[in-house]
Structures are given as C-alpha cells and as structure tokens.
Amino acid sequence: MEEAHTKCLEQHFTSSPDCLRPLLVSLNGHNSWLLSMPRPWADQKQSGRAYFHIVLEPWLVGPADLVGSWFIHIDLPSAPAFPTADAVEAAARQIEDLASEHVLNRRMSNEVFNPARHIDAILLSFHYCDHLHEATLREFHGNVPVIATPQAARIIRPWNHFCTVAVIHDLKPAATSWRVSDLHPGPCLPPWLAVLRLPGHREMNFSTAIIWTHVEDDGTEVHETILTSPHGTLLDQGPFQAFLNSEPKTRKLAMLHGNKESHIGGKQTSFGAKGGLGLYRKLGGPKYWVLSHDLPLAYAGIFMRLSRAADTPRTLEWALDHEFLEQGLHRKRPDVFKMTNGGCLVLEA
C-alpha cells in the first residue's frame, strides 16, 4: 500500500485500538475489493489475527473474455493497483502487521502467530466473466474457501482448483429473518458474518448483503450491513423488501453501487446514479456510498458490437436534479466516496 494508506491505517489502529472497524481496499479501481472485517476479541486471542479478510470478485490478471476475444472481450481502462493474488495477500498481511504492532501486541502475550496465508475467503456474487475471472482466481491458493452463487459454483467446481466452494443462499420473499442457519454458507464463514443474495427482476440486477454481528462497549449486539449492487436493483422486489423488514434489524453501514448507466441490446442493465440514489433512500441513508463497478469499460468482440454494449457516465448531481424535478423537494445529499485504484477506506460507525 502507498504511504498515505499506511498512515490512514496506523491512525485508525492508534486512535481506536479497542474499536476496530471494517476496512475496504480497492484492488482494481472498479469492482474488486479486499474487505477486512474485525474479528471478535475471543477470535483474536485464538488466531492472533485482528481481521477476517474477504476478497470480493477479483479481476486483476488480463481482460475478461467469453468463448474468445472475438466473441466477448472486456477490459479495464487502467491496470489494477494489485495486479496479482500475491499482491492482495501482501495487502492483507500488511493490515495484520500494523494491527499486531498497534493493537494486538498491546492486548496479548508475546505469542507468535505466523499464518501461512492471510486471505480467509473469496466472495463471488455473480457469474459473468468480468465478475468471475478465471485467470485471476487460479492465482489464489486452492485452500482459500470460495463462497459463490449457485451459478458461479457450477462454473468453478469443475476446475478442481479450490478445495472448498460454498454457496450463497437467496433470501426468499416470504422470509422474516436473515439470521437462520439454513441461510449461512457454512464453516468457511464465521458465525458472526453472514452473506445473503437478494435476487431481482433480472439476473444482473441483484444485491448482496454482507452482515457483521458484533458487541458494542455497552454489551449491545449490533448487526451492520454492507450492501453491494454492482448493476443496481429494483426497489420493489420481494427479496430486497424481505431483507429490509427482516429480524433482527441491521444498521446500514455502506452500499457499493456505481454512477454509470450501462445498456446492452437496447436494455438498461446498470441503473447508475439515479438507481443508486433511490437505493440510498430506501436503505435509510447508509453512512457510506462507495462507488463500485463504475469505470468505463472497453468492450469488443462480435457479441458486444451487435448488442451495442455501452456505458454512459452519470453524476450524483444529475441524479439529485432528477429527484428534485420528480419530487419537488431537496433531500439530504449522500456522502459518496470515489476511491482511487488501490485506495483504502475505514468504515467508521
């Protein structure tokens, strides 16, 4: 990580050593992330590690092709800040080293922990080739558990590369609680973390809820949600509504959603700033709206040409203007975070 990011982490660890918060690192400036979730104190003592590190949809090594570059070819406009799995591993290791120096060593004995790897899981919430990137995934060690949608799991398992491929479960429209054992992906994810898929009206328009359960200083159990929706989702869909109404209630910490609109074959596939603003309002105003899946991608290949695949940049100001024209009132302006390629963000309470 760059010196500025190291200083950001050091400041967090030194100012709040007894209240660690989730960390978000942009791996490619687009839709690949390292999400580091604080472990409970008992887990820290047992493992000697401060965080559980999850890699979200890594796309780091080359373009995304389907069948061949002649058919579908998608490329990032700039090189990822973390171009290899080893670089991601090093980022997780640096977080642990800094946390150990400023937090764990102060609270624990002089026991020495030297884990072989620091990445704890890979999360794949979609199965298209720019979300499930085979060349990148094969760079990660096969012992790293993968948690994937059923469609993504069916693609990955025949590779015989990963020892563990668990499934993300869909929340049903009739569900009244997200915290049931049948929805948890299993032992590859600790019980204080949950991940749920909230399907929408089309397979591209879904959202994924990552829920962190922890106990605050006063003994209150709190559930905080990070919601990812790379293409946006319609807000009247049953699973999404069920999650908002389900028990126990969750605090909406952050949402990952882009500003750009995308169209394929004349249909809008990414809802952009306007859809993101609606999602922000529906969630009750998460503290962080982090732009994700927002880069203008390079499309080539016969299918992409015939389907007229295109991205249209939009801005929050544009969406706010439309909201005012439609509703006739000025509402709270969201805090939107545009992270640099390789940037790091502490998700404060």
CATH number, domain of 177, equals: 3.60.15.10
Cα 40–185–49 angle (5° rounding)? 25
Element (H, E) at 93: helix 85-99
Q: Is the peptide bond before 248 cis (omega within 30 degrees of 0)?
A: yes
Average pLDDT of the residues in 189-212: 98
| Angular region, 266: left φ>0, alpha ψ -120 to 50, beta rest | left
Contact yes or no for 193/210 (Cβ under 8 A): yes
Query: Is the per-residue pLDDT at 130 higher than 80?
Result: yes
Percent of the chain topping pLDDT 90? 86
- Residue scoring higher pLDDT (330 or 316): 316
From residue 113, give the alpha-carbon distance in Å to each of 58, 110, 310.
27, 9, 49
Note the pLDDT tens digit of each residue in 272-309: 999 999 999 999 999 999 999 999 999 999 999 999 99
Q: What angle in degrees, to the nearest 10, is found between the helix axes of 272-282 and 316-327?
A: 70
Closest CA to 16 of 96, 102, 92, 75: 102
Q: How far apart are CA 143 and CA 151, in angstroms?
A: 21
**pLDDT the model gives residue 222:** 98
Range of the domain at 258: 3-346
Farthest CA pair distance, the chain = 63
Report residue 213's pLDDT band, with 50, 70 and 90 as the boundaries. Answer: very high
Report residue 107's pLDDT band, with 50, 70 and 90 as the boundaries. Answer: low
Q: What spatial distance separates the first Cα and last Cα of the chain, rounded to whole Å?
A: 24
Contact yes or no for 200/233 (Cβ under 8 A): yes
Say how many domains are in the chain.
Answer: 1
- pTM to 2 decimals? 0.96
CA 126 from centre of chain: 12
Question: What are residue 267's DSSP bridge partners?
Answer: 264
Report residue 15's pLDDT band, with 50, 70 and 90 as the boundaries. Answer: confident
Report residue 17's pLDDT band, with 50, 70 and 90 as the boundaries. Answer: confident
Structure tokens at 182: 């049948």
Q: How far apart are CA 57 and CA 33, in angstroms?
A: 7
Query: Is the per-residue pLDDT at 218 higher than 80?
Result: yes
Question: What are residue 224's DSSP bridge partners?
Answer: 212, 251
